Amino acid sequence: MNNKNAIIKTAKHTILEESKAIAHLADLIDDDFVNTINTIYHSNGRVIITGIGKSAIIATKIVATLNSTGTPAVFMHAADAIHGDLGLILEDDVVICISKSGNTPEIKVLVPLIKNAKNKMIALTGNKNSFLGQQADFVLNAYVEKEVCPNNLAPTTSTTAQLVIGDALAVCLLELKGFSSKDFAKYHPGGALGKKLYLRVNDLSEINQKPQVSPETSLKDVIIEISEKMLGVTAVVENSKIIGIITDGDLRRMLSKTDNIMALTAKNIMSTNPKRIAADALAVDAMELMEENGISQLLVEDQGNYAGVVHLHDLIKEGII
């Protein structure tokens, strides 16, 4: 397969076949899924997720998703579990075993050990009648008719199904817990994602210089203020209140239209009623306001008083854009 059309055909076939399998999972959601959610929600322990091979890889992703959405979870490799890692499981923990067939040797050894410890055990399997399915307290049915692999061997559709079931678990638990964007920010303080949820406008504006002039400031001093503060803008302020704004663009337009510039002051050049934002607003709100209005700076107010400038470059630097 080395031609463009064949590659595109295979890629589309893979995506469509897996999407059909995922859609079918919705028909498999039953009381066992509900009981699993309630068991985890009311548990005083963690969720221990185990598997082997590709299922182990899926388990690590589900663990990560649960942890990031407020449900404490730990990954335990099935092979390592029977060689000492069973000590990870505490009395109140709920165990989820992932296995497409439900009959792998490691699972057959591990399951009785979990049962002996009296922990609630959930099977995430494509075979409800397997050893794992028969031994589990509840079964999350991840049945797929076949792998999209042309040999029906490589875990492809089945691992996608496992992943989707894991996402369904996480989202149901998230909603039950009333997990909010503020909660999410606590678990994601780093990176652009976290910053969108907690970074405030004043976190950015307070590290900038604070350009300002009065309405009577001369044109020369306006230019000096904009140049020295290096934000391409200055606020026009009277009694601590914003009454206007002057940008680099305003200066250029004024110079192209006016010959007698010596008598001009800030109030002759400024644009009134400029866009502004509260100091305690989220930085992401500043980004949206800039995008809506096609501007690169916003004046910042704190309780109605001029507090500084937030610039598009600040948002880019912090990864908000």
Q: Are residues 171 and 213 in the same domain?
A: no
Tens of pLDDT, residues 117-137: 899 999 999 999 999 999 999
Tell me: do 27 and 170 sit in the same domain: yes
Domain boundary among 179, 213, 245: 179
Tell whether 85 and 39 lie within a shared domain. Answer: yes
Taking residues 8-24, report their average pLDDT.
Answer: 95
Does 137 lie in the same domain as 101? yes
Distance CA 12, CA 154 (A): 18
Region 207-218 average pLDDT: 93
- Cα separation, 211 vs 286, in Å, equals 19
Q: Are 212 and 235 in contact (CB under 8 A)?
A: yes
- Read off the DSSP letter of residue 279: T
Which whole number is the average pLDDT over 181-208? 74
Cα pseudo-dihedral 297, 301, 305, 311, rounded to 10: -30
* Same domain (yes/no): 148, 211: no
CATH of the domain at 66: 3.40.50.10490
Residues 165 and 305 in one domain: no
Residue 286 lies in a domain: yes
77 assigned to a ligand binding site: yes
Residue 243 has pLDDT above 90, yes or no: yes
In a domain, residue 195? The reply is no
Q: Report how many helices (DSSP H) and strands (DSSP E) the chain contains, helices first.
A: 15, 11
- Round to whole Å and give the CA distance between 74 and 262: 72
Integer Rg of the chain from CA: 30
Tell whether the model's pLDDT for residue 286 goes beyond 80: yes
131 shares its domain with 220: no
Q: What is the pLDDT of residue 252?
A: 85
* pLDDT score recorded for residue 284: 86
82 has a pLDDT exceeding 90: no
pLDDT at 193: 63
Same domain, 9 and 119: yes
User: CA nearest 276: which of 237, 229, 222, 320?
Assistant: 237
Domain's final residue, options 129, 147, 179: 179
Verify that 174 and 226 share a domain, yes or no: no
Q: Look at residue 187 and tell me if it is in a domain.
A: no
Residue 189 in any domain: the answer is no
Same domain as 175, residue 221: no
Tally of domains in the chain: 2
Query: What CATH number should be reported for the domain holding residue 260?
Result: 3.10.580.10
What average pLDDT does the chain have? 90
**pLDDT tens for residues 214-235?**
999 998 899 999 999 999 899 9
Q: So what's the pLDDT on residue 255?
A: 78
300 is in which domain, residue-wise? Answer: 201-317
The secondary structure of 115-146 as a DSSP string is HHTT-EEEEEES-TTSHHHHHSSEEEE---S-
- Report how far residue 241's alpha carbon sits from residue 61's, in angstroms, rounded to the nearest whole number: 51
146 shares a domain with 221 = no
In a domain, 196, yes or no: no
Q: Residues 141, 209: one domain?
A: no
Question: Would the pTM of this model clear 0.85, i.e. be above it?
Answer: no
pLDDT of residue 175: 93
Half-sphere exposure of 12 (CA within 13 A, CB side): 6
Q: What percent of the chain has pLDDT over 70?
A: 93
Q: 148, 179, 210 — which closes off a domain?
A: 179
Is residue 191, in this structure, part of any structural domain at all?
no
Asked whether residue 160 is assigned to any structural domain, the reply reads yes
How far apart CA 292 and CA 206 sit, in angstroms, is 24
For residue 189 the two structure tokens come to 């303080």
Task: Describe the strand order of the beta sheet including 297-302 as a list of residue ranges.
Answer: 276-278, 297-302, 305-311
